[in-house]
Amino acid sequence: MNQPVKFDAIDLVDRLLGDERLAKHVVESFLSDMPRQLSLLAESLNTEDAYNTRMNAHSIKGAAANAGATGVCRTAGQLEHLGLEGKLPEAKKLLPELAAEMESVSAALQSFCDSVR
């Protein structure tokens, strides 16, 4: 069974009109900011703040989409939807999945950055 693509470097570079250096910058920014973003999301879930859960998940979803981290984007989108509906217990259950998605794609993202000169 095929695994869904977690990072689409070709699409990322294409969306940035072939500018690999800009793509590298986008990915590096994503990697450096994601720990803070995940922490903010966890905090909003722990305080049962549906609005900020939705907003933090939305920020992660957008950043992941920009960086080509499709798995992170997909899971963050699910969290955003659950936050919108106020389903925080279900959203809390997805937080480890989001962290795992981020961990699983980080090596590919870093490898991409290392390959761009």
Q: Does any domain span residue 5? A: no
Q: Does any domain span residue 100? A: yes
Total count of domains within the chain: 1
Q: Does any domain span residue 2? A: no
Q: Does any domain span residue 59? A: yes
Q: Does any domain span residue 89? A: yes
Dump pLDDT digits (tens) for 78-91. 999 999 999 999 99
Q: 59-95: string of b/e by CB count within 10 Å (b at 16+)?
A: bbbebbbbbbbbbbbbbbbbbbbbbbeebbeebbebb
User: 63 pLDDT band (50/70/90 cuts)?
Assistant: very high
Q: Does any domain span residue 91? A: yes
CB 20 within 8 A of CB 68: no
The stretch 27-31 carries a mean pLDDT of: 96
* pTM confidence score: 0.91
| Residue 18: other Cβ atoms inside 10 A | 9
CATH number for the domain spanning 54: value is 1.20.120.160
**DSSP string for 7-48:** --HHHHHHHTTT-HHHHHHHHHHHHHHHHHHHHHHHHHHHTT
What is the domain extent for residue 86?
Answer: 19-115
